[in-house]
Amino acid sequence: MSAEAARRWQRRADVLWHESLGGVVLLPPEATDPFAVSAPAALLWEALAAPRDVDELAAAMSEPLGVPAAEVAEALPALLDELAGLGALREDP
């Protein structure tokens, strides 16, 4: 397993968020404005309630998305980086 794949992520407990039609709207502590994520990313947000690595997240999202876990796993690092960059995630040590 690569170092990237071994990283474990979890959503930050201090992010304000609500479900919305077709996704989730988030307001991390340092963000000035809320931002919306659409349905696939909302599934990721749900899966990030507990610390998980990319493979575990892909396995959790594969069935609801109807996409093989390997394909989901390929797309995940970019999405995780984006959410982490917005201050919505923390990396679990």
For other proteins, the binding residues (CB under 8 A) are 13-23, 25-27, 29, 32-34, 36
Cβ proximity to other proteins: between 17 and 75 the closer is 17
Q: Two tokens at 36?
A: 């919306």
- Residues 60 and 68 sit within 8 Å (Cβ to Cβ): no
Q: Tell me the closest approach of the beta carbon of residue 7 to other proteins, in angstroms.
A: 23
Q: What is the spatial distance between Cα 30 and Cα 51, in angstroms, rounded to a whole number?
A: 21
Q: Quote the least distance from Cβ 50 to other proteins, whole Å.
A: 15
Residue 37 or residue 72: which is nearer to other proteins going by CB?
A: 37
Please state the closest distance from residue 58 (CB atom) to other proteins, in A.
26
Dist CA 31 CA 33 (whole Å): 6
Q: Which token pair is 20?
A: 């919305």
